[in-house]
Structure 1
Amino acid sequence: MRPVSDVHKTEEHEESGRPAPDHAAFAQVARGYYPLIVALFTATLIISNICATKGVEFFGDESVMLGPFQILPIVTDGAFFLFPLAYVLGDVLSEVYGFRATRRAIYYGFGALLLTVLCFAVVLRLPAASFYENQEALRSVIGPVPRLVIAGLAGYLVGQLLNSATLVLIKERTKEKHLWARLIGSTVVGEFADTLIFCSIAAGAIGIETWQQFVNYVIVGFLWKTLVEILVMPITYRVIALLKKREPSYAPRSVDPLHA
Protein backbone atom coordinates (compact mmCIF):
# COMPACT_ATOMS: atom_id res chain seq x y z
CA MET A 1 0.00 0.00 0.00
CA ARG A 2 1.34 3.47 -0.95
CA PRO A 3 1.78 6.15 1.72
CA VAL A 4 -1.08 8.64 2.02
CA SER A 5 1.21 11.48 0.91
CA ASP A 6 1.98 9.66 -2.36
CA VAL A 7 -1.72 9.08 -2.96
CA HIS A 8 -2.43 12.77 -2.44
CA LYS A 9 0.43 13.73 -4.73
CA THR A 10 -0.83 11.42 -7.46
CA GLU A 11 -4.37 12.76 -7.10
CA GLU A 12 -3.15 16.37 -7.36
CA HIS A 13 -1.26 15.68 -10.57
CA GLU A 14 -4.16 13.71 -12.03
CA GLU A 15 -6.37 16.75 -11.43
CA SER A 16 -3.85 19.09 -13.07
CA GLY A 17 -3.32 16.72 -16.00
CA ARG A 18 0.45 16.61 -15.42
CA PRO A 19 2.52 13.54 -14.57
CA ALA A 20 3.96 13.30 -11.08
CA PRO A 21 7.55 14.67 -11.26
CA ASP A 22 10.62 12.82 -10.08
CA HIS A 23 12.29 16.08 -8.96
CA ALA A 24 11.35 19.53 -7.69
CA ALA A 25 9.56 21.63 -10.32
CA PHE A 26 10.70 25.07 -11.53
CA ALA A 27 9.69 27.44 -14.33
CA GLN A 28 12.29 28.31 -16.94
CA VAL A 29 13.48 31.92 -17.04
CA ALA A 30 12.74 33.59 -20.35
CA ARG A 31 15.85 33.93 -22.45
CA GLY A 32 16.95 37.03 -24.31
CA TYR A 33 18.08 40.50 -23.34
CA TYR A 34 14.65 42.07 -22.91
CA PRO A 35 14.29 41.35 -19.14
CA LEU A 36 17.76 42.78 -18.45
CA ILE A 37 17.03 46.01 -20.34
CA VAL A 38 13.64 46.37 -18.65
CA ALA A 39 15.26 45.93 -15.21
CA LEU A 40 17.87 48.62 -15.98
CA PHE A 41 15.16 50.85 -17.46
CA THR A 42 13.04 50.56 -14.31
CA ALA A 43 15.97 51.06 -11.94
CA THR A 44 17.02 54.20 -13.84
CA LEU A 45 13.53 55.61 -13.48
CA ILE A 46 13.30 54.99 -9.72
CA ILE A 47 16.80 56.30 -8.94
CA SER A 48 16.21 59.37 -11.10
CA ASN A 49 13.06 60.31 -9.22
CA ILE A 50 14.91 60.12 -5.90
CA CYS A 51 17.88 62.11 -7.20
CA ALA A 52 15.50 64.73 -8.59
CA THR A 53 14.55 65.84 -5.05
CA LYS A 54 17.70 67.97 -5.03
CA GLY A 55 17.69 71.27 -6.87
CA VAL A 56 21.00 71.95 -8.64
CA GLU A 57 22.39 75.30 -9.79
CA PHE A 58 25.47 75.83 -11.93
CA PHE A 59 27.24 79.23 -12.14
CA GLY A 60 25.24 80.46 -9.17
CA ASP A 61 27.39 83.59 -8.84
CA GLU A 62 26.55 84.69 -12.38
CA SER A 63 23.42 86.45 -13.60
CA VAL A 64 22.87 86.55 -17.36
CA MET A 65 19.49 87.36 -18.88
CA LEU A 66 18.36 87.30 -22.51
CA GLY A 67 15.28 89.49 -22.43
CA PRO A 68 12.88 87.76 -20.00
CA PHE A 69 14.85 84.49 -20.15
CA GLN A 70 17.48 83.49 -17.61
CA ILE A 71 20.67 82.11 -19.15
CA LEU A 72 22.78 81.95 -15.99
CA PRO A 73 22.68 80.50 -13.45
CA ILE A 74 21.67 77.15 -14.94
CA VAL A 75 18.93 75.51 -12.90
CA THR A 76 18.25 71.77 -12.97
CA ASP A 77 17.76 68.83 -10.61
CA GLY A 78 19.95 66.04 -9.28
CA ALA A 79 18.77 63.53 -11.86
CA PHE A 80 20.09 65.46 -14.86
CA PHE A 81 23.04 63.10 -15.37
CA LEU A 82 21.06 59.85 -15.10
CA PHE A 83 17.54 60.31 -16.44
CA PRO A 84 18.58 60.62 -20.12
CA LEU A 85 19.61 56.97 -19.88
CA ALA A 86 15.93 56.06 -19.56
CA TYR A 87 15.30 57.49 -23.03
CA VAL A 88 18.35 55.80 -24.49
CA LEU A 89 17.07 52.47 -23.15
CA GLY A 90 13.58 53.31 -24.37
CA ASP A 91 15.00 53.85 -27.86
CA VAL A 92 16.82 50.52 -27.71
CA LEU A 93 13.64 48.72 -26.64
CA SER A 94 11.54 50.40 -29.33
CA GLU A 95 14.05 49.81 -32.13
CA VAL A 96 14.67 46.15 -31.33
CA TYR A 97 11.49 44.85 -29.67
CA GLY A 98 8.76 47.16 -31.02
CA PHE A 99 6.09 49.37 -29.52
CA ARG A 100 4.08 46.72 -27.66
CA ALA A 101 7.09 45.34 -25.80
CA THR A 102 8.30 48.86 -24.98
CA ARG A 103 4.85 49.88 -23.77
CA ARG A 104 4.89 46.87 -21.45
CA ALA A 105 8.27 47.99 -20.07
CA ILE A 106 6.88 51.50 -19.55
CA TYR A 107 3.98 50.07 -17.56
CA TYR A 108 6.42 48.03 -15.45
CA GLY A 109 8.31 51.22 -14.64
CA PHE A 110 5.03 53.00 -13.87
CA GLY A 111 4.12 50.29 -11.37
CA ALA A 112 7.57 50.36 -9.79
CA LEU A 113 7.33 54.11 -9.23
CA LEU A 114 3.91 53.76 -7.63
CA LEU A 115 5.32 51.13 -5.29
CA THR A 116 8.24 53.44 -4.48
CA VAL A 117 6.06 56.37 -3.47
CA LEU A 118 3.77 54.11 -1.46
CA CYS A 119 6.72 52.66 0.47
CA PHE A 120 8.13 56.12 1.17
CA ALA A 121 4.76 57.28 2.45
CA VAL A 122 4.54 54.28 4.78
CA VAL A 123 8.11 54.74 6.05
CA LEU A 124 7.51 58.39 6.89
CA ARG A 125 4.40 57.53 8.88
CA LEU A 126 5.94 54.69 10.87
CA PRO A 127 6.70 55.72 14.48
CA ALA A 128 10.37 56.57 14.86
CA ALA A 129 12.39 54.71 17.49
CA SER A 130 13.48 56.74 20.51
CA PHE A 131 17.12 56.42 19.43
CA TYR A 132 16.45 57.38 15.79
CA GLU A 133 17.44 61.02 15.31
CA ASN A 134 17.08 61.38 11.54
CA GLN A 135 13.32 61.45 11.06
CA GLU A 136 13.23 65.09 9.90
CA ALA A 137 16.29 64.59 7.72
CA LEU A 138 14.61 61.59 6.14
CA ARG A 139 11.41 63.58 5.63
CA SER A 140 13.32 66.43 4.00
CA VAL A 141 14.91 64.03 1.51
CA ILE A 142 12.03 61.73 0.55
CA GLY A 143 9.16 63.95 1.66
CA PRO A 144 8.95 65.83 -1.68
CA VAL A 145 9.20 62.56 -3.60
CA PRO A 146 5.42 61.92 -3.89
CA ARG A 147 4.98 65.19 -5.76
CA LEU A 148 8.03 64.46 -7.86
CA VAL A 149 6.78 60.95 -8.56
CA ILE A 150 3.45 62.36 -9.74
CA ALA A 151 5.42 64.70 -12.00
CA GLY A 152 7.68 61.86 -13.08
CA LEU A 153 4.80 59.48 -13.73
CA ALA A 154 2.89 61.97 -15.83
CA GLY A 155 5.90 63.15 -17.82
CA TYR A 156 7.43 59.71 -18.12
CA LEU A 157 4.24 58.01 -19.29
CA VAL A 158 3.42 60.61 -21.93
CA GLY A 159 7.02 61.18 -22.98
CA GLN A 160 8.08 57.56 -23.24
CA LEU A 161 4.95 56.50 -25.12
CA LEU A 162 5.42 59.39 -27.56
CA ASN A 163 9.12 58.54 -27.88
CA SER A 164 8.43 54.89 -28.66
CA ALA A 165 5.50 55.56 -31.00
CA THR A 166 7.47 58.19 -32.94
CA LEU A 167 10.45 55.87 -33.34
CA VAL A 168 8.49 52.89 -34.65
CA LEU A 169 6.42 55.07 -37.01
CA ILE A 170 9.61 56.55 -38.49
CA LYS A 171 11.09 53.06 -38.70
CA GLU A 172 8.08 51.84 -40.70
CA ARG A 173 9.06 54.40 -43.35
CA THR A 174 12.85 54.11 -43.18
CA LYS A 175 13.08 50.37 -42.35
CA GLU A 176 16.69 49.63 -41.29
CA LYS A 177 18.09 52.88 -42.71
CA HIS A 178 18.63 56.24 -41.00
CA LEU A 179 18.69 55.00 -37.41
CA TRP A 180 20.07 58.39 -36.35
CA ALA A 181 16.88 60.08 -37.59
CA ARG A 182 14.71 57.73 -35.52
CA LEU A 183 16.80 58.18 -32.39
CA ILE A 184 16.97 61.97 -32.55
CA GLY A 185 13.44 62.52 -33.86
CA SER A 186 11.81 60.35 -31.24
CA THR A 187 13.89 61.90 -28.46
CA VAL A 188 12.96 65.46 -29.45
CA VAL A 189 9.25 64.62 -29.37
CA GLY A 190 9.31 62.49 -26.22
CA GLU A 191 11.78 64.56 -24.21
CA PHE A 192 9.99 67.83 -24.89
CA ALA A 193 6.65 66.46 -23.68
CA ASP A 194 8.30 64.74 -20.70
CA THR A 195 10.35 67.78 -19.66
CA LEU A 196 7.48 70.25 -19.97
CA ILE A 197 5.07 68.09 -17.95
CA PHE A 198 7.61 67.09 -15.31
CA CYS A 199 8.99 70.59 -14.78
CA SER A 200 5.51 72.13 -14.57
CA ILE A 201 4.61 69.85 -11.65
CA ALA A 202 7.99 69.38 -9.98
CA ALA A 203 9.35 72.94 -10.04
CA GLY A 204 7.85 73.94 -6.70
CA ALA A 205 9.00 70.74 -5.00
CA ILE A 206 12.68 71.46 -5.67
CA GLY A 207 12.48 75.17 -4.80
CA ILE A 208 12.01 76.91 -8.17
CA GLU A 209 10.05 80.09 -7.49
CA THR A 210 10.35 82.50 -10.43
CA TRP A 211 9.13 82.31 -14.01
CA GLN A 212 12.68 82.91 -15.28
CA GLN A 213 13.98 79.95 -13.27
CA PHE A 214 11.16 77.75 -14.57
CA VAL A 215 11.82 78.58 -18.23
CA ASN A 216 15.52 77.97 -17.66
CA TYR A 217 14.68 74.65 -15.98
CA VAL A 218 12.58 73.48 -18.94
CA ILE A 219 14.98 74.62 -21.67
CA VAL A 220 18.10 73.30 -19.95
CA GLY A 221 16.42 69.97 -19.22
CA PHE A 222 15.21 69.52 -22.79
CA LEU A 223 18.45 70.58 -24.46
CA TRP A 224 20.61 68.55 -22.08
CA LYS A 225 18.62 65.31 -22.54
CA THR A 226 18.63 65.74 -26.32
CA LEU A 227 22.36 66.47 -26.30
CA VAL A 228 23.05 63.34 -24.25
CA GLU A 229 21.10 61.28 -26.78
CA ILE A 230 23.36 62.62 -29.54
CA LEU A 231 26.58 62.16 -27.57
CA VAL A 232 25.89 58.53 -26.68
CA MET A 233 24.52 57.67 -30.10
CA PRO A 234 27.65 55.69 -31.11
CA ILE A 235 27.12 53.47 -28.05
CA THR A 236 23.39 53.20 -28.76
CA TYR A 237 24.21 52.12 -32.32
CA ARG A 238 26.50 49.35 -31.06
CA VAL A 239 24.02 48.09 -28.48
CA ILE A 240 21.19 48.01 -31.01
CA ALA A 241 23.35 46.22 -33.58
CA LEU A 242 24.40 43.63 -31.00
CA LEU A 243 20.82 42.98 -29.90
CA LYS A 244 19.55 42.66 -33.47
CA LYS A 245 22.29 40.12 -34.14
CA ARG A 246 21.75 38.14 -30.92
CA GLU A 247 17.94 38.08 -30.86
CA PRO A 248 16.85 35.18 -33.10
CA SER A 249 13.28 36.47 -33.42
CA TYR A 250 14.30 39.84 -34.90
CA ALA A 251 12.63 39.95 -38.32
CA PRO A 252 10.20 42.11 -40.37
CA ARG A 253 6.56 41.91 -39.26
CA SER A 254 3.64 42.55 -41.57
CA VAL A 255 1.53 44.31 -38.95
CA ASP A 256 0.84 47.89 -37.95
CA PRO A 257 4.02 49.21 -36.23
CA LEU A 258 2.03 50.30 -33.17
CA HIS A 259 0.87 46.70 -32.73
CA ALA A 260 4.18 44.98 -33.48
Structure 2
Amino acid sequence: MSRPINAQYALRGSGNYDVILALFVAILLISNIGATKLIAFGPIITDGGAYLFPLAYVIGDILSEVYGFKAARRAVMIGFGVLVLAVVVFWLVQISPPAADYHHQKAYEAVVGFVPRLALAGICGYFVGQLLNSYVLVRLKERTLEKKLWVRLLGSTGVGELADTLVFCTIAFYGVLTGWNFLNYVVVGYVYKCAVEIIVMPITYQVCKFVKRREPTYAARGSETDTIAA
Protein backbone atom coordinates (compact mmCIF):
# COMPACT_ATOMS: atom_id res chain seq x y z
CA MET A 1 0.00 0.00 0.00
CA SER A 2 1.43 3.39 -0.97
CA ARG A 3 2.05 6.10 1.62
CA PRO A 4 -0.76 8.72 1.65
CA ILE A 5 0.31 12.17 0.49
CA ASN A 6 -2.05 14.16 2.69
CA ALA A 7 -3.29 13.72 6.22
CA GLN A 8 -6.83 12.38 5.97
CA TYR A 9 -9.80 12.19 8.29
CA ALA A 10 -13.18 10.60 8.77
CA LEU A 11 -16.31 12.47 7.83
CA ARG A 12 -17.82 14.13 10.88
CA GLY A 13 -21.33 13.00 10.02
CA SER A 14 -20.42 9.33 10.35
CA GLY A 15 -19.82 6.84 13.10
CA ASN A 16 -19.12 8.04 16.63
CA TYR A 17 -18.69 11.78 16.09
CA ASP A 18 -21.99 12.75 17.73
CA VAL A 19 -21.29 10.62 20.81
CA ILE A 20 -17.81 12.10 21.24
CA LEU A 21 -19.20 15.60 20.71
CA ALA A 22 -21.86 15.10 23.41
CA LEU A 23 -19.23 13.86 25.88
CA PHE A 24 -17.00 16.81 25.04
CA VAL A 25 -19.75 19.36 25.73
CA ALA A 26 -20.85 17.61 28.94
CA ILE A 27 -17.30 17.71 30.31
CA LEU A 28 -17.01 21.42 29.51
CA LEU A 29 -20.27 22.27 31.26
CA ILE A 30 -19.65 20.16 34.37
CA SER A 31 -16.07 21.42 34.68
CA ASN A 32 -17.07 25.07 34.54
CA ILE A 33 -19.64 24.58 37.29
CA GLY A 34 -17.16 22.61 39.39
CA ALA A 35 -14.59 25.40 38.99
CA THR A 36 -16.68 27.64 41.29
CA LYS A 37 -14.93 25.99 44.25
CA LEU A 38 -11.28 26.60 44.99
CA ILE A 39 -9.50 23.55 46.44
CA ALA A 40 -6.29 23.50 48.46
CA PHE A 41 -4.15 20.40 48.87
CA GLY A 42 -1.62 21.80 51.30
CA PRO A 43 0.22 24.61 49.45
CA ILE A 44 -1.26 23.57 46.11
CA ILE A 45 -4.29 25.60 45.02
CA THR A 46 -6.59 24.50 42.23
CA ASP A 47 -10.35 24.36 41.55
CA GLY A 48 -13.06 21.75 41.18
CA GLY A 49 -12.78 21.82 37.43
CA ALA A 50 -9.39 20.13 37.67
CA TYR A 51 -11.02 16.75 38.24
CA LEU A 52 -12.59 16.58 34.81
CA PHE A 53 -11.50 19.45 32.56
CA PRO A 54 -8.20 17.91 31.33
CA LEU A 55 -10.28 15.20 29.67
CA ALA A 56 -11.78 17.88 27.43
CA TYR A 57 -8.37 18.21 25.78
CA VAL A 58 -8.05 14.46 25.44
CA ILE A 59 -11.39 14.37 23.63
CA GLY A 60 -10.40 17.46 21.64
CA ASP A 61 -7.29 15.60 20.51
CA ILE A 62 -9.37 12.62 19.43
CA LEU A 63 -11.76 14.86 17.48
CA SER A 64 -8.86 16.62 15.74
CA GLU A 65 -6.89 13.44 15.05
CA VAL A 66 -9.80 11.43 13.67
CA TYR A 67 -12.16 14.04 12.20
CA GLY A 68 -9.95 17.04 11.45
CA PHE A 69 -9.89 20.74 12.25
CA LYS A 70 -13.34 21.62 10.90
CA ALA A 71 -15.01 18.96 13.03
CA ALA A 72 -13.08 20.04 16.14
CA ARG A 73 -13.92 23.68 15.47
CA ARG A 74 -17.60 22.75 15.22
CA ALA A 75 -17.38 21.05 18.62
CA VAL A 76 -15.78 24.17 20.11
CA MET A 77 -18.56 26.37 18.71
CA ILE A 78 -21.27 24.09 20.07
CA GLY A 79 -19.56 24.03 23.47
CA PHE A 80 -19.40 27.82 23.36
CA GLY A 81 -23.15 28.02 22.76
CA VAL A 82 -23.92 25.61 25.61
CA LEU A 83 -21.76 27.56 28.07
CA VAL A 84 -23.38 30.85 27.08
CA LEU A 85 -26.81 29.30 27.56
CA ALA A 86 -25.77 28.06 31.01
CA VAL A 87 -24.60 31.53 32.04
CA VAL A 88 -27.86 33.12 30.92
CA VAL A 89 -30.00 30.53 32.71
CA PHE A 90 -28.02 30.77 35.97
CA TRP A 91 -28.32 34.55 35.85
CA LEU A 92 -32.07 34.46 35.18
CA VAL A 93 -32.58 32.04 38.06
CA GLN A 94 -30.51 34.25 40.34
CA ILE A 95 -32.47 37.45 39.64
CA SER A 96 -35.87 35.76 39.72
CA PRO A 97 -37.77 36.49 42.97
CA PRO A 98 -37.46 33.57 45.40
CA ALA A 99 -40.54 31.82 46.78
CA ALA A 100 -41.55 32.75 50.32
CA ASP A 101 -40.43 29.40 51.75
CA TYR A 102 -37.12 29.33 49.84
CA HIS A 103 -34.32 30.28 52.25
CA HIS A 104 -31.23 29.61 50.16
CA GLN A 105 -31.08 32.66 47.91
CA LYS A 106 -27.85 33.98 49.45
CA ALA A 107 -26.26 30.55 49.29
CA TYR A 108 -27.25 30.26 45.62
CA GLU A 109 -25.78 33.68 44.87
CA ALA A 110 -22.60 32.91 46.82
CA VAL A 111 -21.92 29.79 44.76
CA VAL A 112 -23.69 29.95 41.40
CA GLY A 113 -23.69 33.75 41.42
CA PHE A 114 -19.95 33.57 40.79
CA VAL A 115 -20.47 31.33 37.78
CA PRO A 116 -20.87 34.12 35.18
CA ARG A 117 -17.28 35.32 35.73
CA LEU A 118 -16.01 31.76 35.74
CA ALA A 119 -18.10 30.88 32.73
CA LEU A 120 -16.69 33.88 30.85
CA ALA A 121 -13.21 32.72 31.83
CA GLY A 122 -14.03 29.17 30.79
CA ILE A 123 -15.54 30.27 27.50
CA CYS A 124 -12.59 32.49 26.58
CA GLY A 125 -9.97 30.06 27.87
CA TYR A 126 -11.28 26.93 26.24
CA PHE A 127 -12.23 28.75 23.03
CA VAL A 128 -8.67 29.97 22.52
CA GLY A 129 -7.04 26.87 23.97
CA GLN A 130 -9.08 24.28 22.09
CA LEU A 131 -8.74 26.04 18.75
CA LEU A 132 -4.98 26.30 19.21
CA ASN A 133 -4.86 22.68 20.38
CA SER A 134 -6.68 21.49 17.27
CA TYR A 135 -4.74 23.79 14.95
CA VAL A 136 -1.35 22.62 16.20
CA LEU A 137 -2.35 18.94 16.13
CA VAL A 138 -3.63 19.14 12.56
CA ARG A 139 -0.57 21.07 11.41
CA LEU A 140 1.69 18.45 12.96
CA LYS A 141 -0.34 15.67 11.38
CA GLU A 142 0.21 17.23 7.97
CA ARG A 143 3.92 16.59 8.55
CA THR A 144 3.82 13.26 10.40
CA LEU A 145 0.67 11.69 8.86
CA GLU A 146 -0.15 8.50 10.79
CA LYS A 147 3.21 8.36 12.57
CA LYS A 148 4.36 9.99 15.84
CA LEU A 149 0.95 10.53 17.40
CA TRP A 150 2.73 11.29 20.69
CA VAL A 151 4.37 14.34 19.09
CA ARG A 152 1.00 15.66 18.02
CA LEU A 153 -0.56 15.04 21.42
CA LEU A 154 2.25 16.63 23.41
CA GLY A 155 2.76 19.56 21.05
CA SER A 156 -0.90 20.48 20.80
CA THR A 157 -1.50 20.06 24.52
CA GLY A 158 1.50 22.19 25.48
CA VAL A 159 0.30 25.10 23.36
CA GLY A 160 -3.44 24.74 23.95
CA GLU A 161 -3.27 24.21 27.71
CA LEU A 162 -0.89 27.14 28.16
CA ALA A 163 -3.24 29.53 26.38
CA ASP A 164 -6.28 28.08 28.17
CA THR A 165 -4.71 28.29 31.62
CA LEU A 166 -3.41 31.84 31.23
CA VAL A 167 -6.72 33.19 29.90
CA PHE A 168 -8.91 31.30 32.38
CA CYS A 169 -6.87 32.08 35.49
CA THR A 170 -6.51 35.75 34.62
CA ILE A 171 -10.21 36.33 33.97
CA ALA A 172 -11.53 34.07 36.73
CA PHE A 173 -9.24 34.74 39.67
CA TYR A 174 -7.03 37.76 39.04
CA GLY A 175 -7.71 40.02 42.02
CA VAL A 176 -9.29 37.17 43.94
CA LEU A 177 -5.92 35.46 44.21
CA THR A 178 -2.90 37.73 44.41
CA GLY A 179 0.87 37.47 44.32
CA TRP A 180 2.33 34.03 44.89
CA ASN A 181 -1.10 32.42 45.28
CA PHE A 182 -2.10 33.53 41.79
CA LEU A 183 1.20 32.40 40.25
CA ASN A 184 0.91 29.11 42.11
CA TYR A 185 -2.62 28.64 40.76
CA VAL A 186 -1.51 29.27 37.17
CA VAL A 187 1.58 27.05 37.29
CA VAL A 188 -0.11 24.20 39.14
CA GLY A 189 -3.09 24.31 36.78
CA TYR A 190 -0.91 24.15 33.67
CA VAL A 191 1.42 21.44 34.95
CA TYR A 192 -1.48 19.37 36.25
CA LYS A 193 -3.44 19.51 32.99
CA CYS A 194 -0.40 18.57 30.92
CA ALA A 195 0.52 15.80 33.36
CA VAL A 196 -2.96 14.29 33.10
CA GLU A 197 -2.74 14.15 29.32
CA ILE A 198 0.68 12.52 29.51
CA ILE A 199 -0.57 9.95 32.03
CA VAL A 200 -3.62 9.04 29.95
CA MET A 201 -1.74 9.14 26.63
CA PRO A 202 -1.69 5.32 26.31
CA ILE A 203 -5.47 5.40 26.65
CA THR A 204 -5.73 8.23 24.12
CA TYR A 205 -3.66 6.13 21.69
CA GLN A 206 -6.01 3.18 22.05
CA VAL A 207 -9.15 5.29 21.78
CA CYS A 208 -7.86 6.96 18.61
CA LYS A 209 -7.11 3.56 17.09
CA PHE A 210 -10.51 2.23 18.15
CA VAL A 211 -12.42 5.19 16.70
CA LYS A 212 -10.42 5.07 13.47
CA ARG A 213 -11.24 1.38 13.05
CA ARG A 214 -14.91 2.10 13.70
CA GLU A 215 -15.07 4.88 11.11
CA PRO A 216 -15.67 3.51 7.62
CA THR A 217 -14.77 6.89 6.09
CA TYR A 218 -11.39 7.25 7.81
CA ALA A 219 -8.19 7.78 5.79
CA ALA A 220 -7.09 4.19 5.43
CA ARG A 221 -10.47 3.37 3.95
CA GLY A 222 -10.64 6.15 1.41
CA SER A 223 -11.94 9.24 3.25
CA GLU A 224 -11.53 12.73 1.88
CA THR A 225 -8.82 15.05 3.17
CA ASP A 226 -9.42 17.97 5.53
CA THR A 227 -7.57 21.27 5.54
CA ILE A 228 -7.52 24.08 8.09
CA ALA A 229 -8.31 26.71 5.51
CA ALA A 230 -11.38 24.86 4.24
Note whether the superposition's TM-score is higher than 0.5.
yes
> Which residue identity is paired with 1:154?
C
SS at match of 1:79: helix
**Structure 1: distance between partners of 2:211 and 2:205:** 10
User: Does the 8 Å CA contact 1:169/1:257 hold for their aligned counterparts?
Assistant: no
Structure 1: distance between partners of 2:145 and 2:223: 11
Name the residue aligned to 2:29. Answer: 46
- Match for residue 156 of structure 1 among 126, 129, 137: 126
Structure of higher RCO (CA pairs closer than 8 Å, 6+ residues apart): 2
Structure 2 gaps, min length 5: 1-12
SS of 2:218's partner is coil
Q: Is the 8 A contact 1:44 1:85 kept in 2?
A: yes
1:41 Cα deviation after fit: 0.4
* 2:181 pairs with 1:213: yes
* Structure with the larger helix share: 2
User: For 2:29 and 2:155, how far apart are their aligned partners in 1?
Assistant: 25
Identity percentage of aligned residues: 57
Contact 2:39/2:46 (CA < 8 Å) preserved in 1? yes
With the length of structure 1 as denominator, give the TM-score of the two structures.
0.80
Q: CA-to-partner distance for each residue in 1:93-145, whole Å, 9 max, x for gaps?
A: 00000000000000000000000000000000111011111111111110110
What CA distance in whole angstroms lies between the structure 2 residues aligned with 1:139 and 1:246? 46
Which has more radius of gyration? 1
TM-score normalised over the length of structure 2: 0.90
Q: Which residue of 2 aligns with 1:26?
A: none
**Structure 2 counterparts to residues 138-177 of structure 1, below 5 A:** 138-177=108-147
Greater shift in the superposed pair: 37-46 or 244-253: 244-253
Q: Alignment partner for residue 20 of structure 2, among 15, 34, 37?
A: 37
Q: Which amino acid aligns with 1:44?
A: I
Computed over aligned residues only, the root mean square deviation of the Cα atoms, in angstroms, reads 1.5
Task: Confirm or deny: 8 A CA contact 1:90 1:102 kept in the other structure.
Answer: yes
Which letter maps to 2:62? Answer: V
| Equivalent residue number for residue 106 of structure 1 | 76
Residues 1-260 of structure 1 mapped to structure 2, 5 A cutoff: 31-59=14-42, 73-204=43-174, 207-208=176-177, 210-251=178-219, 257-259=227-229
CA distance in 1, matches of 2:53, 2:141: 24
Structure 1: gaps (5+ residues):
1-29, 60-72
Please report how far the alpha carbon of residue 257 of structure 1 lies from its aligned counterpart in structure 2 after TM superposition. 3.0
Work out the CA distance in 2 between the residues paired with 1:214 and 1:121. Answer: 27
Give the letter aligned to residue 26 of structure 2: A
Structure 1 counterpart of 2:201, which letter? M
Give the paired residue count: 216
Distance in 1, Cα, partners of 2:88 & 2:101 = 25
Q: Once the 2 structures are TM-superposed, how far is the Cα of residue 58 of structure 1 from its aligned partner?
A: 1.1
